C-alpha cells in the first residue's frame, strides 16, 4: 500500500516556483523582524527586502536554461523564458519602488516596518500571475497582489489616502467577482481552467463557444478593472492622487 502511494505521489519541482517562495519568505521574515525588534532601524528592513529581491532575481535567472517540464505543479505554473523576463522586470521595478518608498516615508515620518513586506508580497503576486497557466492560480496571484496594494494605497495617515484605499478595495472586490464568474463560465465551457483549453473552446473547435465567449467577456471586465481600462477606470484618479507618491509610481508601472 505504501509503495502504491509513493508511486502515485506527483513529483514537485521547486526551482520554477523558487522566486515566489523567496519573495514570500522574505516578506514574512521582514514582518517578524519588524514586530520582534521594534527598535530595528528601517534601513535594516530595507536591505533585508532588497536581499529578498536579489535572491528572487537570481532564482529567476537560474530558470533561463531550465530543461525540465514546460510547466510544473500539475501544469499550472510555466517554466519558460517569458516568465523569467517578466519576473526580472517586476523585481527591478520593485527594487526601485522599495528605495523610493523608503526615502519618501522616512522624510514624511510615515514609515512603518510593514512597507518592505507589502512590496514583496505585491511583487510575489505579480510574478506568480506572470507565470500562471490556469485561471485559479491567476486569480490567487491577482488577489495576493491586490490585497497588498490596497494596504499600500492607504499607507499614509492622510484622509485622502484612506479614502483612496477604501475606493480601491470596494471596486477591486467588484472586479474580483467578475473574474470569478468568468472562471466559473470557463470551467462550464471546458471542464478545465487551463488557458489552452479556453483558447480551444474560443476557436470554435468545441460545442461550447458561446459559453467560452461569455467567460472571456467576464474575465476581460475583471482584467479591465485591474489595469484601469476605459470605461472601468473610475477608481484610478482617486487612488493615484490619494496614495503616497512612490506607491502611485509603483502602481503606474507594475
pTM above 0.85, yes or no: yes
Query: Which residues, listed in sequence order, are joined to residue 72 by a DSSP beta bridge?
Result: 77
Per-residue model confidence as pLDDT tens digits over 68-79? 888 888 788 888
Pairing verdict, β 77-78 and 71-72? antiparallel
Residue 9's Cβ-count burial label (10 Å; 0-12, 13-18, 19+) is: exposed
Residue 13 has pLDDT above 90, yes or no: no
Check: CB of residue 125 under 8 Å from CB of residue 144. yes
Determine which helix (DSSP H) or strand (DSSP E) holds 71, and give its type and residue range: strand 71-72
- At residue 172, the 3 state secondary structure works out as helix
Looking at the DSSP bridge assignments, the partners of residue 194 are 134
The x, y and z cell numbers of residue 163, run together, are 479614502
Task: Say whether pLDDT at 94 is over 90.
Answer: yes
- Break the chain into its structural domains and give their ranges: 11-133, 157-243
Task: Calculate mean pLDDT across residues 5-21.
Answer: 73
Amino acid at each position: 500500500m505504501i509503495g502504491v502511494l509513493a508511486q502515485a505521489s506527483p513529483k514537485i519541482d521547486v526551482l520554477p516556483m523558487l522566486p515566489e517562495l523567496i519573495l514570500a519568505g522574505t516578506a514574512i521574515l521582514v514582518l517578524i523582524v519588524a514586530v520582534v525588534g521594534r527598535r530595528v532601524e528601517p534601513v535594516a528592513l530595507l536591505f533585508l527586502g532588497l536581499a529578498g529581491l536579489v535572491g528572487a532575481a537570481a532564482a529567476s535567472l537560474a530558470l533561463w536554461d531550465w530543461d525540465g517540464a514546460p510547466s510544473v505543479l500539475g501544469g499550472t505554473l510555466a517554466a519558460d523564458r517569458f516568465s523569467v523576463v517578466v519576473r526580472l522586470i517586476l523585481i527591478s521595478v520593485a527594487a526601485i519602488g522599495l528605495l523610493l518608498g523608503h526615502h519618501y516615508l522616512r522624510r514624511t515620518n510615515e514609515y512603518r516596518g510593514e512597507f518592505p513586506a507589502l512590496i514583496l508580497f505585491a511583487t510575489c503576486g505579480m510574478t506568480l500571475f506572470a507565470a500562471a497557466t490556469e485561471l485559479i492560480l491567476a486569480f490567487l496571484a491577482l488577489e495576493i497582489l491586490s490585497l497588498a496594494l490596497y494596504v499600500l494605497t492607504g499607507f499614509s495617515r492622510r484622509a485622502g489616502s484612506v479614502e483612496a484605499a477604501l475606493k480601491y478595495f470596494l471596486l477591486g472586490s467588484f472586479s474580483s467577482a467578475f473574474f470569478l464568474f468568468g472562471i466559473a463560465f470557463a470551467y462550464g465551457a471546458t471542464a478545465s481552467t487551463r488557458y489552452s483549453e479556453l483558447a480551444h473552446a474560443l476557436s470554435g473547435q468545441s460545442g461550447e463557444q458561446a459559453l467560452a465567449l461569455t467567460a472571456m467577456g467576464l474575465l476581460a471586465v475583471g482584467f479591465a478593472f485591474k489595469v484601469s481600462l476605459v470605461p472601468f477606470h473610475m477608481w484610478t484618479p482617486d487612488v493615484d492622487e490619494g496614495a503616497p507618491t512612490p506607491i502611485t509610481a509603483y502602481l503606474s508601472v507594475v
